[in-house]
Structure 1
Amino acid sequence: MRLSRYALALPALLGAALLVTPAAAQSAADRAADGAISQDFQEDEPVTYFSQSWLIDTMNRRTSESIRDVPRVHYGYYVVPEDQNRLEARLALYNKFGGDRDVIKPLLWLLNRNDLENLSPGDTLVVPSEFGLDFRAYSPFPRYYAGAADLDKVVILDKQIQAWGAYHRGELARWGIINTGVESARTPSGRFNVNWKQDYRVSTLSPGFGSSAPDAELWEMYWVMNLHEARGIHMHQYALPTSGPASHGCIRMLEPDAKWLYGWTDTWEVENQRDPISSVGADIVDQGTMVLIIGDDISEPPRPFLHRDAYPVIRMVDLPPDPYAVPAGSPQQKAFDRLGGRV
């Protein structure tokens, strides 16, 4: 694969061209990359998942163009009384904070990473001082990122908090929650770029791929954004369990986030491309939107709040002062760093 028209030569990377085409039409490398992402679509253990339809309005809520006009919130505790069953606990909770279940439930679910259907006496929830605000009001990402003020766009994925944030010229544009890789298949850390995107695809390794049977099992992927072509690491929509890391290396996102990010990010600029997606044999002239994957790996549910005796404190993501100081996460990125004189 050639990285640019300036004749920087590198060994060919494995192509992660995820196309809905017959398997025979794909290279062995393409099918291998298919397998990497398809592992995320294997049957999961019984777990509790976020109901994505419940969360759409909350996650998409915007009250102002600039985050300068978004109110700030603080947090407190709500303890479920000992004399209430689960239904009574939920109803009392909604009534205490205004009565609108469609506003209260999804926000508390996202903040606590906890399914409110299973509330029990004595359970403690973190609650904000105000509901129904622009969703950025509840962000664990700083509102401003000075180190990215000169970058048109940058995306941050934090593995410890299990959350993502997008910055436009250093100002927080959106954030959400994610699932990264389990202990046996960690999501790689480092600096990446969005390579190619595909809004929908069916994995060629699906058990029912190529079958016309109505009950054929197909692994469907939506809003796929490739970050590491050689390893087949992507951001994409998929079911998110509340239990923390769950994927085989890819970054799972909720539908509203994946769809928004798909439209917001830019892909690489490629010349002499033989394949509609893969860069194998092509010239990568320019890279897409920068993506930083940071934070320590965890194997348990994330803890987005520090629980002090008097009140909870949101754990803010520690952004790197200089995005370019984050080590390159792929051979492609390392090659561009050499070309740009960064190493």
Structure 2
Amino acid sequence: MKKIIVLLVTVLFLAGCKKEMEKQDSEIDSTTIQQNIETKVDSIAIKRNDSIQLAKKDSVAAVKKTELEKSKKSKKYAVYKGDAFSYWPIKASDSLRKLFYNTFTKEQQYTIAALNRIDTDHIKTRDTLIVPNEFKSTFMDYTPFPRKLDNLAEVPKTVIFSYPIQAYAVYEKGNLVKWGPTNMGKKSAQTPRGLFFTNWKGRKVTSTVDDEWILNWNFNISNSGGVGWHQYALPGYPASHSCLRLLDADAQWLYNWADQWVLADKKTVKVKGNPVIVFGDYKFGSKGVWHQLVEDPTVTTISKSALEAIVEPYLAEIFNQQTIREEYNKSKSGAKPSEDGLKTVKDSIN
């Protein structure tokens, strides 16, 4: 009897354990399923949040892109400021053109024109002008040329013309004393590069290319080639028939500053004038590099080492001709130099 009771209790106990285990298993399965469901829900939520964030980012990017495009278009009718210079699209906007003339003095307009390699008459013809944000004390403060060249320290007078930046520099014993804009030879009639010397000059020279072209303050640097500097219209790009166009005031200054040659007779040069160096290449078909001053204020700057390297190959001939001139001046004992070439003459090229 006792055995039967013990066996019955054991069976009941085992049955109870089984139910408890099934209940626990059921609860575990239920919890696991719930966790899985929650995980999936969280995952979906995360994905949805990521999508929303990405959508927001895409939306912001699209807005910025649209704003940028609008900004580019609006620059056509508004001043665009850089670090040191600004774009003034005066041709596209009557209001900006009026504002330009009302804002800047005649002297400032002259500076602006020179920085754009034009004369003041061409201001109204330009689509866009490069304008300094602050006007400096003197025009010399805008120079793209180095203030001093050590290898010209013993040379009394030198003129250097740069084709790439369409500008010239005047040095006295290696010290920069003047600079300004120039418009040199167009693509089909480029100004020759290399070393030249000033020779004859003429207050008013009639061009043989066109009798109506009057070249004021003309100073020839290549007699056989008919190349010289003189006053003429500056449209803002190389446009001449090989000569070096200058602003009127600059041409007059150089006319009075440079020395002429001395002739032994009509065909023999006894003493050459001052050295003139023309260097570099212009990227025809593109706007001049000075149009990039808004993005890069140093884009036209020529370093001291770079310009000294350009001058170096010509030094031997420069000093040779300088010695000849010095010996001639000593022999004259203070007599006035020959006035040959001062009369009005006809140049072969303008």
TM-score range normalised by the length of the shorter chain: 0.5 to 0.7
| Rounded Cα–Cα distance in structure 2 between residues aligned with 1:304 and 1:322 | 21
Change (3 A) 1:108 1:269: same
1:143 Cα shift? 1.3
Report the RMSD for the aligned CA atoms in angstroms. Answer: 3.4
| Rounded Cα–Cα distance in structure 2 between residues aligned with 1:308 and 1:75 | 7
Choose from 248, 271, 288 the match for 1:286: 271
Structure number, greater radius of gyration:
2
1:78 aligned onto 2:82: no
1:321 aligned onto 2:309: yes
| Rounded Cα–Cα distance in structure 1 between residues aligned with 2:241 and 2:226 | 10
1:136 aligned onto 2:143: no
1:226 Cα shift? 1.4
Kindly indicate whether the alpha-carbon contact (under 8 Å) linking 2:117 and 2:183 is maintained by their aligned counterparts in 1: no
1:222 aligned onto 2:229: no
Change (3 A) 1:101 1:320: same
* Secondary structure, aligned partner of 2:181: strand
| Rounded Cα–Cα distance in structure 2 between residues aligned with 1:239 and 1:177 | 12
Q: Which has the higher contact order (CA 8 A, sep 6+)?
A: 1
1:169 Cα shift? 1.1
The residue that corresponds to 1:304 in the other structure is 290
* Secondary structure, aligned partner of 2:190: coil
Q: How many residues align?
A: 234
Kindly indicate whether the alpha-carbon contact (under 8 Å) linking 1:75 and 1:313 is maintained by their aligned counterparts in 2: no
1:117 aligned onto 2:110: no
1:252 aligned onto 2:245: yes
Bigger helix share: 2
Change (3 A) 1:119 1:252: closer
1:306 Cα shift? 4.2
Q: How high is the sequence identity, in percent, across the aligned residues?
A: 30
Kindly indicate whether the alpha-carbon contact (under 8 Å) linking 2:159 and 2:170 is maintained by their aligned counterparts in 1: yes
Change (3 A) 1:93 1:286: same
Choose from 225, 228, 231 the match for 1:234: 228
* Secondary structure, aligned partner of 2:308: coil
1:164 aligned onto 2:168: yes
The equivalences for 1:148-163 within 5 A come to 148-163=152-167
1:174 aligned onto 2:178: yes
Kindly indicate whether the alpha-carbon contact (under 8 Å) linking 1:86 and 1:119 is maintained by their aligned counterparts in 2: no
The residue that corresponds to 2:254 in the other structure is 261
Q: What amino acid is the match of 1:130?
A: F
Kindly indicate whether the alpha-carbon contact (under 8 Å) linking 2:192 and 2:278 is maintained by their aligned counterparts in 1: yes
Deviations 1:269-317 (A, max 9, x none): 222x23xxxxx2x2x22211100001113324421264575x5324113
Change (3 A) 1:191 1:102: same
Q: What amino acid is the match of 1:179?
A: N
Q: What amino acid is the match of 1:89?
A: L
Kindly indicate whether the alpha-carbon contact (under 8 Å) linking 2:115 and 2:130 is maintained by their aligned counterparts in 1: no
TM-score w.r.t. length of structure 1: 0.59
Change (3 A) 1:224 1:88: same
| Rounded Cα–Cα distance in structure 1 between residues aligned with 2:229 and 2:259 | 13
The residue that corresponds to 2:110 in the other structure is 106
Kindly indicate whether the alpha-carbon contact (under 8 Å) linking 2:151 and 2:312 is maintained by their aligned counterparts in 1: no
TM-score w.r.t. length of structure 2: 0.58
1:78 Cα shift? 2.9
| Rounded Cα–Cα distance in structure 2 between residues aligned with 1:268 and 1:124 | 40
